[in-house]
Chain A
Amino acid sequence: DVKVTQSSRYLVKRTGEKVFLECVQDMDHENMFWYRQDPGLGLRLIYFSYDVKMKEKGDIPEGYSVSREKKERFSLILESASTNQTSMYLCASSPPPMGGQETQYFGPGTRLLVL
């Protein structure tokens, strides 16, 4: 079974703090993704990565950065947390697409509250 783990299920931080969210997958997947999910807005892609040390901006990268030093680990960094970054953060991974198929597997999510 594919396993995607995230470092915390719940996190409370103060405005201005630097926040690190870690994601690890054990299936040797090339692709990894960070989304946030908010009521009424669905899933929104923040950043993704197709290879080690490679990153691409998603739809809402502002206020975030990422790091992928190892294939199995993809970190999301909030440089200076703000209250509008309170959200559920979801990490996903997927193998390379084959014939147009690409299945993403998600972690359990991190619910972040910024005070």
Chain B
Amino acid sequence: DAKTTQPTSMDCAEGRAANLPCNHSTISGNEYVYWYRQIHSQGPQYIIHGLKNNETNEMASLIITEDRKSSTLILPHATLRDTAVYYCIVRRHQGGKLIFGQGTELSVKP
């Protein structure tokens, strides 16, 4: 699985968009970009994933650059409940385990 780099922490004002970047310059052509988050003392929660095209669901949008070397997760209207550690993972299924890096600790402030 390709290595990812994320900022250690970010702040966002409540109601504003939270844009979380992820660099994955060694991504290969058949690897997907996944985003999970983990709220304190809870299990990780799947958010979204994509291969090449931008994706949107009820939780977030995923923007992947044309060269696929980086991506951005967008929470369009952050709330206090979005405070969590956000993990960007690049992988192609080859047998099971997920590897979570350090992630970005997002703090949404009133």
Contacts and interface: CB of A to CB of B under 8 A. Distances in A.
Interface of A: 4, 31, 33, 35, 42-43, 45, 48, 56, 58-59, 88, 90-92, 97, 100-109, 111
Interface residues of B, number: 19
Nearest to A40: B102
Interface stretch (B5-13, B72-80, B93-101): B93-101
**Interface of chain A, helix or strand or loop or mixed?**
strand
Given A100-B32, A101-B49, A103-B49, A108 B43 contact: yes
Contacts of B31: 100
Contacts of A56: 96
Contact of B43 (A59, A97, A103, A107): A107
B4 to A, nearest CB: 13
Interface string B24-48: 0000001110100000011111100
A90 B43 contact: yes
Contacts, number: 54
A105 B45 CA distance: 7
26 contacts: A4-B43, A33-B96, A35-B97, A42-B100, A43-B100, A45-B96, A56-B96, A59-B97, A91-B43, A92-B43, A97-B93, A100-B30, A100-B32, A100-B93, A101-B49, A102-B93, A103-B34, A103-B46, A106-B44, A106-B46, A107-B43, A108-B42, A109-B41, A109-B42, A109-B43, A111-B41
Contacts of B100: 42-43
